[in-house]
Chain A
Amino acid sequence: MSSDQTGDSGPAEDLAGRLEEFEQEALKVSDRPGWDELRVRWVGRKQGIVRTLLAGLKDVPAGERRDYGQGVNRLKQKVEERLEEIGAQLDASEKSISRQAAAVDVSLPGRRPEVGAIHPVNVVTQHIVEIFRALGYSVADGPEVEDDFHNFEALNFPVGHPARDTQDTFFLEDGRLLRTHTSPVQVRTMLARKPPIRVICPGRVYRHDNDLRHSPMFHQVEGLAVAEGITMGDLKGTLEAFLQRLFHPDTGVRLRPSYFPFTEPSVEVDITCPFCRGEGCQTCSNTGWMEILGAGMVDPRVLSKCGIDPAIYSGFAFGLGLDRVAMIRYGIPNIRMLFDNDERLLRQVQI
């Protein structure tokens, strides 16, 4: 435009050449330092070409000054646009280089901290303990080597009682025995304390039985509540609350009258089959129900033997096989697999 207006090599003519010059230099930039150099040389604040050109404004004849000024500004704008463009290209290629350098196969396995496992029986035990804690119970322990009094006699199994036959007992040479159930702990608790009592007693028990479906050692949890005015309804309500928390909130609970020497009335308790939710399946023989525990109101003979007056106090007790619950929960088909201690199985149980 204005550069064509004069024949001499004035500042205006110079500007077109400058832009050409810049474009040539810009083509040679290949990295960040080159880009920096180009930027400083052209639009540097102190000695940049654009700044120098602006400083030359005062030497331009007055009539051309306006055109010249606008020309420099246009040059500056173009240079800056181009610099930005090159900068962005450099950014992109730098990112791609650093990405290449850092790239990993993110699908490779992480290095996990080695975490162990709690035995499934004890996971179930703890779950049950927590349920009863919330209901105000405490946990009681007792010895595994017991005497006849605590394991049988105080529980209304007199000597020669046929119900003793159902509890194949390991005897020690000194006449004591391995407890066949956790019920001796309720005897010990009642002998040691006054009502109100609410305890649960998890532990190992032993029966002289070793075949595909039995283990000579297994686990039970015993529950006991003794106070004034404990009712059969309390037993029912407690078992419902417990079993619905242990299995599923919709679990149906059914009580059937039965017999145990140490409770009266005695009940066997069924739940709706946890596998089919009561629809009927192979596991529950299509009945929709599964027998899960034995319970009852503490027999007055047991209360008396334990120094508690059955005319004043009543109570309930229940006993549940923990191994069976673990088998149901984790789908373990055989009780003996629980005591193989196969770490490939055990490690799958979450802490």
Chain B
Amino acid sequence: MIFSYNWISRYLDPGAGADEIAGRLTAAGLAVENSEPRGDDVLFDVDVTTNRPDCMNHVGLAREASTLLAQGLRFPDTTTDAADPAVGELARVVVEDGYGCPRYVALVVRGAKVGPSPGWLVEHLEAIGQRSINNIVDITNFVLWELGQPIHAFDLAKLAAGTIVVRRAREGERLTTLDEEDRQLDPKILVIADAERPVALAGIMGGFDSEVSDSTVDILIESAHFDPARVRSGAKALGLHTDASHRFERGADPDICRVAADRVAKLIAEIAGGQVQKGALDVRNEECDWQLAGHLSLERAVRFGGVDLDAADVVRWLTGVGFSMDQTAPGEWDVKVPTWRYYDMRPDPAKPISEPQGPVFEADFFEEILRLHGLEGIPSTLPAVGAPDQGFSTAHECRQTIRTHLAASGYVEAITFAFHEEVADQRYPALEKAGDVLRLANPLSELYVVMRRSLIPGLIGAAEFNQRRGCQAIRLFEIGHLFPGGDSTELEAVALIGGGQTDLPWDRAMPFDLFELKGVVESLGARFGVEIVAGSAELPGLVSGTSSQLHEATLTGPNMGFMGQLEDARSPYPLYVAELSTSSFSVDQVRPIELPSRYPGVEVDLTLTQSADTAWSEIAQTIRKAAVQDLVSFGLKDRYWGEGVPAGAVNTTICFLYNAADSSLTRDEVNERHEAMRKLLEQRFGWKGEV
């Protein structure tokens, strides 16, 4: 928001340089983001935060500056020379919605001459980027930027029966606004009407028909207070945002209506030569009480800030920006909040404005004191809390362990969007689908319309991105939340995608197949002491025969996820994917290690001719169950088809390691154990078909 240094300086006594004012305001929370010399003036671009509508005008900024500079504030002159007849004889105000409009002040100036504005007025407005229209409109605009109160000037002659009615718009009513747009109204919108029809959108914009024109002679000045929520919903419904609505939505000063109206009347009389009429029409909703108060203790302020504060400074600062203080004991005050800070400081902003508020939170006073003190002078300390936080959870460690493990296994972590297109939700398997997919009400596009139930589509997108850039080996993973749908809680998953290889013979790269990916999945499980077993399953989007469900420990164990080769990949080489819930992974428990034997072990191979239909997992399970004495491990050494192996069979070579904990096994002992194993496997799985 642009402000003029010269304009601010009108109210400062004696004033200071532009740099000093900009610096002080910035340090107190009114950040002057840019300071630009313009002629003999300097324009400040001030970032006024939404809680400080009271500083969206020049007097408001001057009030802050005067306090920070310990100077006087020259408030604008609002005295008028009023004459009969009184306003009440010339106009009438009826407020039907006293909650939407808790106060309405109307003044009348008669016999004004509408014309161009004097140079000083044009200059002030143009400095801050406002176009001069005519003297009357310019004066209302000037007062908005001077005092922060939006004012509207009606041509009194154009108000039917000289009457103002503040009410909700009726269904089907229309209004052509100042911007010459014809607008459809509805009861959400608060309007200013005359005896017959709406003439302005309350707190937002005036109407075209009742605006001041060259022929206007008598003017009705409206200076009202509107409920922020009411103005906001009206402005939103109409898609309008104006200087007036900007202030009312954030909360104007409820008590400035009369002062601002007087200021406008005085300026009209001075500039346009009209006669201010006596008195005012001033309609108030007495239920609304804008007085907020609370208690302030210097000792608590010091403790809160962690900084020494002087009572005299505190009083000077707070009274400087409009608080009134009543000392109840040394360093203790009852503090009244200025009405222009009402919306910022009310303890319960969710309460309607007509309901009384409780005492102001003391932290609101602390904030004022600390920002006026300046934050630079606060000494740096650390919280005096001894023990580490008690809410320790290992979920983050677990994630980090997965991340490190997969990165160390050659995979690159991707981060993809958590929403994708509808079709992606149907095309691939999901760990959990509970009810309808979660849909965005306002998606960016059709590509990002539902919340993901699988990380796979995102990873495929990332793989394709890299393939388009010539990547010959895809190794990606992602850890992220999944949204099963309905009211189900989110779950966390890790997914991998892999395929391709570098084609440099020097690197002797292994061809990438399903078991490369499965190996990483298994080793990730092993990292957490979880054995992951795969059971063949038909799954959408995955090549039939390669796809499987992953289970914990056994095929009947809890479902952990799925794995397989991607169907329909636009990839030059096969891509393999796996997705796992991380819920089975935990770093909470440390598994004891098994002490290795001090005696040498003996490795013995066994080649079994078996039916190609028998799953390795079945054989492995049988070996494990047999619990042959001193067998410490076994592994798949080779699989062989072809010459010498009957059709439908496969030669499986298994390597066994026998090792006793307390002695060296003799050849006979090993043979005895191995023979038992051989017999068992031959009996159970040995090829019985044709040779």
Contacts and interface: CB of A to CB of B under 8 A. Distances in A.
Interface of A: 108-109, 111, 113-119, 121-122, 126, 129, 135-141, 143-145, 153, 156, 158-163, 166, 170-174, 178, 189, 193, 196-199, 202, 204, 206, 208, 210, 216-217, 225, 227, 229-234, 236-238, 240-241, 254-259, 261, 264-265, 267-268, 297, 299-301, 310, 314, 338-344, 346-347, 351
A259 B469 contact: no
A310 B412 contact: no
19 contacts: A115-B407, A122-B403, A137-B388, A162-B232, A166-B50, A178-B440, A198-B388, A217-B418, A236-B378, A237-B382, A256-B26, A256-B31, A257-B29, A259-B51, A300-B361, A300-B362, A339-B416, A341-B416, A342-B466
A203 to B, nearest CB: 9
B440 A256 contact: no
A256 B376 CA distance: 9
Nearest to B404: A351
Contacts of A136: 385, 387-389
A153 B349 CA distance: 10
Contact of A225 (B51, B305, B385, B506): B385
Nearest to B345: A264
A32 to B, nearest CB: 37
B403 A310 contact: no
B481 interface: yes
A238 B382 contact: yes
A4 B213 CA distance: 151
Given A136-B387, A139-B395, A109 B407 contact: no
B306 interface: yes
A307 B30 CA distance: 32
Contacts of B27: 256-257
Best-surrounded residue of A144, A161, A189, A241 (most CB of chain B within 10 A): A161
B415 to A, nearest CB: 5
Interface string B391-404: 11101100010011
A153 B350 contact: yes
A241 B490 CA distance: 34
A144 B361 contact: no
A144 B490 contact: yes
B349 A156 contact: yes
B633 interface: no
Contacts of B383: 198, 225, 227, 230, 234, 238
B413 interface: yes
Nearest to B384: A229
B393 A138 contact: yes
Given A172-B440, A232-B306, A233-B305, A138 B375 contact: no
Given A115-B410, A138-B390, A301-B347, 12 more contacts: A140-B393, A160-B232, A217-B418, A231-B306, A232-B306, A236-B375, A237-B379, A255-B378, A256-B27, A264-B366, A264-B367, A346-B412
B142 interface: no
The number of chain B residues touching the other chain, given as a range, is: 35 or more
Contacts of A108: 506
A172 B439 contact: yes
Interface stretch (B14-22, B441-449, B622-630, B673-681): B441-449
A133 to B, nearest CB: 8
B349 A116 contact: no
B654 interface: no
A109 B483 CA distance: 46
A319 to B, nearest CB: 16
A195 B28 CA distance: 31
Interface in B478-527: 480-481, 483, 489-490, 506-508
A136 B371 CA distance: 29
B233 A140 contact: no
Nearest to B442: A171
Contact of B415 (A137, A161, A231, A339): A339
Contacts of B232: 160, 162
Contacts of A339: 415-417
Contacts of A236: 306, 375, 378-381
B413 A118 contact: yes
Interface in B641-686: none
Nearest to B492: A141
B350 A256 contact: no
B465 interface: yes
A229 B303 contact: yes
Given A204-B480, A233-B379, A301-B361, A118 B391 contact: no
A140 B391 contact: yes
The 10 nearest A-B residue pairs measured at CB: A233-B306, A257-B29, A231-B306, A259-B49, A237-B380, A114-B410, A341-B462, A341-B414, A139-B396, A265-B367
Given A119-B413, A237-B382, A204 B407 contact: no
Residue picked from A126, A137, A231, A310, most chain B C-beta under 10 Å: A231
Interface in B182-237: 228-229, 232-233
A233 B29 contact: no
Contacts of A310: 361, 363
Contacts of B410: 113-116
B409 interface: yes
A159 B29 CA distance: 25
A233 B389 contact: no
B442 A196 contact: no
Contacts of B379: 233, 236-237
Contact of B444 (A208, A229, A231): A208
A144 B412 contact: no
Contacts of B370: 232, 257, 265
B367 A341 contact: no
Contact of A121 (B307, B415, B416, B474): B415
Contacts of B393: 138-141
B476 A341 contact: yes
Contacts of A237: 379-382
Contact of B407 (A118, A143, A301): A118
Contacts of B155: none
Contacts of A117: 407, 412-413
A286 to B, nearest CB: 13
A264 B366 CA distance: 8
B412 A347 contact: yes
Contacts of B375: 232, 236, 255-257, 267
B412 A231 contact: no
A137 to B, nearest CB: 6
Contact of B389 (A138, A204, A216, A232): A138
A144 B384 CA distance: 32
Contact of B363 (A115, A267, A299): A299
Nearest to B363: A300
A129 B396 contact: yes
Given A189-B391, A257-B29, A171 B440 contact: yes
Nearest to B470: A344
A297 B361 CA distance: 13
Given A122-B413, A171-B440, A225-B383, A265 B366 contact: yes
Contacts of A137: 388-389
A240 to B, nearest CB: 5
Contact of A241 (B364, B382, B481): B382
B378 to A, nearest CB: 5
A290 B232 CA distance: 34
B408 interface: yes
